[in-house]
Amino acid sequence: MVAAVAGAEVDIAWVWDHQAPPLQASAWAVTVTQIQLDGATLTERPRTRTLPPHGSRTVIPVVHVEPDARRAAQPLTDVQRQAITRRVLGVATGSTSGWVQLDFEARPSQRDSYHALVRDIRAALPAATKLSVTVLAWQCRSAAWMQPLAADEVVPMFFQLGRDSDAWLEQAVSGGPQLQPRCRQAAGFSPSLTPPARLPANWQRRYWFNLQRGRATAWPADLQQLVWPTVPSP
């Protein structure tokens, strides 16, 4: 087995809890746990679908945080911040990539506490472990969202963009000229919306999402082939 160079991957498969990772990908970002905010408390649902052996691939563990859909989003409590931080630190110990990712679509009313959470995590992580955070594309237009964000990598998502989808996809294929500069190195894409060939080189790390609805767990072969045309060595 040949170890991959940590952090050097360009095309990373983003793998939900219920999904099997695409075997042709050379790097996986894997949701290790899903944390549900529930009022002032929080519950966790660890990953239960076993990953196949990652072999030479590097793996970025992901902690997904889900806001409470039933209520107006409240700022994170200290207990919630501490619990999420602990979980990120815990999963980071198993990282084979040198990265760990926080996937949390914080609402505007949670902005300050979200920034504090990211600061907490960054401060607590070892210096050698890099922190990646996903953000909504529109947040990348806001200095107020981006400047205080203490992450090593910011990953705007270029899919499920609503009515302005065309304008956002144009940003994706033109390298994000209207985004805050730190939003122009890494991003999340769907191969069906923005095939790799359309993307400029400034996206140095590209997270690929399988957006198939429902219970499907496998990547469609054609989309997999589009992003990872060759199978990595075992």
Partner 1 sequence: MKRTLLTAVMFASLVATAHASGAGPEDVFVQRTLPDVPAKAYLGGQLGLLLPSYPRVQLIPAWRVLASADAGKPLLPFSEDAWRRACCDAGALNVAMDGPATPAIKAWLDARTQAGQSAPRSVPQPLKPFGKNEWDAFLNCPDPAFTFATDTLARLRQRPDATPERVRTWVQAQDQVFDHCRPDGSALQKPAALAASEPPFWRQARDYQRAATAFYAGDWAAAKAGFDAIARDDAHPWQAWALVGGLRAQVREASLNDRLHPEPAGEADELLRSLQAGVERLTAIAARNPEAAAAARGAQDLLALTRAKLLPPQRLAELGTELRRLDREPGRQALADWVRLADARYDEQPELRRREQAGDPLLDWTSTLQACEAEAGPRADAFKHAVAEWRRAPKAALWLVPALHCADGQASPRTDIDALLQAAARLPDSHPATPTLRWQQLRLLREIGQADAARALLPRAAALAKPSGGGRNLVAQQGLALARNPDEAAPWLARAWSGWADADTGAQGKADATRYALAADGAAYVATRLTLSQWQRLVQRDVLPTPLRRSLAEALWWRAEFIGQTDRAVWAAQQIRTLDRRYAPVVQPYLAAATDDERREAIWRAGLGWGLSARLYSGAGVRDGSGALNKAPAEDAVASAWCSFTEADAEGTGDTTVERAPPLPAEDASPELAAERAALKAVGPATAAYARWVQARAKRLPAADDLDWLLYVGVQSTRGGCVGADNGAQSRALHTLLHKRFPRSPWAAKAPYWYR
Structure tokens at 143: 């200095």
Residue nearer to partner 1 on the CB measure, 92 or 186: 92
Query: How do beta strands 11-15 and 153-157 pair?
Result: unpaired
Query: How far apart, in Å, do the first and last CA atoms of the chain sit?
Result: 7
Q: Report in angstroms the alpha-carbon separations of 66 from 105, 130, 184, 191.
A: 7, 22, 25, 24
Sign of CA dihedral 74, 180, 178, 187: negative
Q: Report in angstroms the alpha-carbon separations of 51 from 28, 30, 55, 125, 147.
A: 10, 9, 11, 25, 36
**72 to 101, contacts with partner 1 by CB under 8 A?**
72, 79-80, 83, 87, 91, 94, 96
Among 53, 166, 229, 234, which residue interacts with partner 1 (rule: CB under 8 A)? 53
Residue nearer to partner 1 on the CB measure, 26 or 171: 171
Answer yes or no whether residue 43 interacts with partner 1 by CB under 8 A.
yes
Answer yes or no whether residue 128 interacts with partner 1 by CB under 8 A.
no
Span of 2-10, 119-127, 194-202, 216-224 interacting with partner 1 by CB under 8 A:
216-224
Residues that bind partner 1 (CB under 8 A): 16-20, 30, 32, 34-36, 41-53, 59, 61, 64, 66, 69-72, 79-80, 83, 87, 91, 94, 96, 138, 141-144, 160, 162-164, 167, 171, 177-179, 210-218
